[in-house]
Amino acid sequence: MRRGFTIIEVLIYIALIAFLVPLTADLFLTTVNSGALNREVREARSEAARALQIMTQTIRNSSTIIEPAFNANSTRLIVASTTFSLDAGQIKVQENGGPVEPLTATGFQISDLLFSNSSKFGTPGLVKISFKIKKGDYDKKYYGAAALR
């Protein structure tokens, strides 16, 4: 009696391998791509939160809103001696007439930056902030607000 595989068994094994290898490769590629997207999401969320925190803290510590005007919108915010604006896909900040510096890091595309002065008569002042941040396949709009103290 001879031991070994029959041609039928070999064909069945080859068919199973031909079916399982692409599935395994697809699962691997999906996992790798998902990890990259998760990293982009994490980095963009962190960058957006940092920019919003700096802008809202600056508003809270300011004494006056110069631009946008009362009940108006603008792509630029001027509070006391600090200016925030959008230039070349980055939020820029200028303090006390010094150099204009990027607030957001390179690698992130910022768009649709809008400041709304929603102050009511007799209140210290309220500014709403919105902007869109994009990194790779991640694209989301962020919102924030702060009132003068």
* Residue 42 to residue 119: CA distance in whole angstroms: 33
d(CA 11, CA 9): 5
Residue-wise pLDDT tens for the chain (149 aa)? 667 788 898 899 999 999 999 888 888 888 777 788 888 899 999 999 999 999 999 999 998 999 999 899 999 999 989 999 999 999 999 999 999 999 999 999 999 999 999 988 878 899 999 999 999 889 999 999 999 98
In this structure, what are the phi and psi dihedrals at residue 77, rounded to the nearest 5 degrees? Answer: -120, 125
Domain extents for the chain? 7-147
C-alpha 49/C-alpha 44 separation (Å) is 8
